[in-house]
């Protein structure tokens, strides 16, 4: 389990700034590691998913990753991440942190062991409709 936090500190990060302006702090993207990004993306699209970004390869000295994104509900997206032979610290372009965080010297680690749940808030009266569509799409993809 890895968490990557992004803020709109830099003015060129328009997507994150717009999301925070509308929702406050929250999750915009839930990334899922997959074995074959291109095949799964094609299967999801053929079963009615809406594309946010088609599969593309990103590289650095540690190898390559293939990433695509689909729309879920509301403003949330799911990114599909394939890291077949990637040996870097997270994703291409990221650099490992080698120095100790000074804050860790004065606080204890929270020892996060699991995430108890993730919610996707919906307008009143629409959760059942969203769940029926998501379950149908997922079962069509995972059963073939």
Q: Give tens-digit pLDDT for 78-97.
A: 999 999 889 999 999 999 88
- Cα–Cα dist 104/48, whole Å: 46
Residue 26 within any structural domain of the chain: yes
Residue 127 within any structural domain of the chain: yes
Residue 9 within any structural domain of the chain: no
For the chain, the DSSP string reads: ---------STT-HHHHHHHHHHSS--SEEEEE-S-HHHHHHHHHHTTPEEEEEEEEEEETTEEEEEEEEE-STT-EEEEEE-SS--SSSSTT-----SPPGGGGTS----------------TT-HHHHHHHHHHHHHHHHT-
Enclosing domain of residue 116: 14-100+110-142
Residue 2 within any structural domain of the chain: no
CATH number, domain with residue 82: 3.10.180.10
| Per-residue model confidence as pLDDT tens digits over 133-143 | 554 444 444 44
Residue 119 within any structural domain of the chain: yes
CB atoms inside a 10 Å sphere around CB 75? 16
Residue 4 within any structural domain of the chain: no
Question: Tell me, what's the pLDDT at 135?
Answer: 47
Q: What is the mean pLDDT of residues 18-35?
A: 86
Categorize the per-residue pLDDT at 11 as very low, low, confident or very high, splitting at 50, 70 and 90: confident
Residue 85 within any structural domain of the chain: yes
**The total number of structural domains that make up the chain:** 1
Which of 78-82, 88-92, 112-116, 117-121 bottoms out in mean pLDDT, i.e. has the lowest?
A: 117-121
Name the token pair of 139.
């079962």
Residue 40 within any structural domain of the chain: yes
């Amino acid at each position: 389990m890895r968490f990557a936090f992004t803020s709109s500190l830099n003015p060129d990060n328009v997507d994150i700034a717009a999301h925070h302006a509308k929702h406050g702090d929250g999750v915009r993207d839930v990334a899922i590691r997959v074995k074959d990004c291109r095949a799964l993306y094609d299967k999801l699209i053929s079963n009615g998913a809406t594309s946010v970004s088609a599969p593309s390869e990103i590289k650095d000295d540690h190898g390559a990753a293939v990433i695509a994104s689909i729309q879920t509900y509301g403003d949330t997206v799911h990114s599909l991440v394939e890291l077949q032979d990637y040996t870097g610290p997270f994703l291409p372009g990221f650099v490992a942190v080698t120095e100790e965080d000074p804050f860790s010297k004065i606080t204890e680690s929270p020892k996060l062991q699991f995430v108890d749940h993730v919610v996707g808030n919906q307008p009143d009266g629409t959760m059942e409709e969203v769940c029926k569509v998501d379950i149908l799409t997922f079962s069509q993809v995972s059963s073939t």
